[in-house]
Structure 1
Amino acid sequence: MKTRSQIVSAAGLVSLVMGAAALIVLVAGMGTAQAQDASQASCSFLEITATSGEGGIDPALAPLATKLGKPPFSAWKSFKLVARHDQTLTRMKVQDIKLSAGGKLGVLFRQHTRAQGKKDRLSLSLTLDDKGGKRALDTKVHVDAGDYFVIVIGQSADKGHLLAFTCTAK
């Protein structure tokens, strides 16, 4: 039969082991992505017309030159900025943006995450409605803060309508 001091000593040892395990879990989790409390994001949405004719890249699109020079965008030779929409997005509140070609883009800032040694990331939900109000796109994207994300939102034989955007947490 165990004495009272042996029982207390065993309980202390269990507490010490449990505390050490909790500390290891806490320290190990520090390197993983953590949800942040940024309540707003500052974003720029760029509407771009792309054509197969010569013309190069509009100087206003210089930060996108590398992305536009790679497939699938490299199929076009000329890129011109049509409209720029600078928006401040509030977390979990949809912001509608009227597009120059008609239709609208719905944007929802969902989350801001940060991982040690990596760029901040933002999660957005995007919806695209055409001129007639028909839903053409409904997706969720994760983008590095300050990087551009480019999608094709309309296309004909030799012409494309692109949307590029970049965001940072506020």
Structure 2
Amino acid sequence: MYLFFNFHLPKGIWVGVPPTFLPKINNCIKSNERKKFIENTEYWIKFLQNKIPIKLQMHNDTVKNLRKIKLSSQQDKINMRRAIQNKNIFRDLDLEFLINAINFNKKKVIDIQKIDAIDFCFKKYNVQWRMNFYRSGLTYKFRKIFLNEDKYYWNNEFKKRFNRIIF
């Protein structure tokens, strides 16, 4: 019956299709994506830190240019004061956003440094969620019946490949 389904159904249908993300995890571990991720995030943090003085200078120049404008009516002066106040509020929001982005990325680097490369790749490819999703599908049930691929098989497979159990 299994061979009949496998032969007659189009490729990619639920019968006989094991999870396809295991080679991605192997490539992730071999190419040391964790180290690359940490380096790229640290470059991004430096970029954001260098952006703060530029943003401050830009906002200060804008306010300085607004103050240079000569206004005749009282309503224009009131509107100019409001524009300067709004520009200062926007500057504070912009700086707060940059500081929060820097802190968020620093926290992300610290969290990634706490785990090893295998756990990073498991987290990156959502292995636990994917395997739970796979177990709830028909593919797992049919492969369990026909190929005896139950949770013990997958635990052994992950133990051999990554020294981790998944279930």
The structure with the larger Rg is: 2
Q: TM-score range by the shorter chain?
A: under 0.3
Question: Which of structures 1 and 2 has the larger relative contact order (alpha carbons within 8 angstroms, sep 6+)?
Answer: 2
TM-score (norm 2): 0.28
TM-score (norm 1): 0.27
More strand by share: 1
